[in-house]
Chains A and B, each alone.
Chain A
């Protein structure tokens, strides 16, 4: 039930943003459309969680997510500058390669978000995930080290720690 209410609220907010004004008839149509969409597809947006959490936990989660957004854009900006440096070299002098990086996260949502964040950051690109060993295969434009720990520190650790705090 809580999942359905959350889905309904998000869809209604998006509807109001897309129409651009709040009048009575727009609201009625929006509520009808949101109700239909919610009853058909409410299991797609949020997964069912087996543990009951308090509202304070979710508020804390939201707070960390809002804190994480500027950190991510800072990291992405620095990585973009690093990739841009290669563009203007006379002979592009990079050493691309595919490395295997083990992760310590277990939550499926956190793993998905981590893979997307790695791909969004310029310079690293997720190719695959090995379920058996819990390892990402990352195409990295500048393989500076082959040591497992150092490669992990350079590529995923900055996001992994944040996600571990958010989805613990």
Chain B
């Protein structure tokens, strides 16, 4: 139980904390888009912290690099999926935002149809 293990556990604990926050936010937030914002927390912060923590915990060169590569692939693929879900659910009118203060996107879409 060295100092390295303790640091790894601390980093992984922070990741778990953010994951719990995400789960609570997914239940509490009102509509699709705000829930996507809640899930972005787990996608960026939690995944990266967890992969760094596991890489420190394992502490072998090739294994650690491999785990960091997995974290990098998370970072590359997540915004694509998030953006695709949000855009499709707006354009196909699956879920129009319920809670909104301003909506400049609908004007852009109707301009295209003219």
Residues of A within 8 A of B (CB): 14, 17-18, 20-21, 73, 76-77, 80, 83-84, 86-88, 92, 94-100, 115-117, 119-123, 125-128, 130, 137, 139, 141, 143, 146
Contact = CB atoms under 8 A, between A and B. Distances in A.
Q: Give the dominant DSSP class at A's interface.
A: mixed
Nearest to A22: B62
17 contacts: A17-B65, A84-B21, A87-B21, A87-B28, A88-B24, A95-B101, A96-B100, A99-B104, A117-B79, A119-B82, A120-B43, A120-B44, A125-B40, A125-B86, A139-B33, A139-B37, A139-B97
Nearest to B43: A120
Interface residue tally on B, bucketed by range: 35 or more
A86 B25 contact: yes
Given A84-B21, A95-B101, 18 more contacts: A14-B69, A17-B66, A76-B44, A83-B38, A83-B40, A96-B33, A96-B100, A119-B79, A119-B82, A119-B83, A120-B43, A125-B37, A127-B86, A128-B105, A137-B108, A139-B97, A141-B34, A143-B101
Q: Give the dominant DSSP class at B's interface.
A: helix
A161 B64 CA distance: 32
A94 B103 CA distance: 15
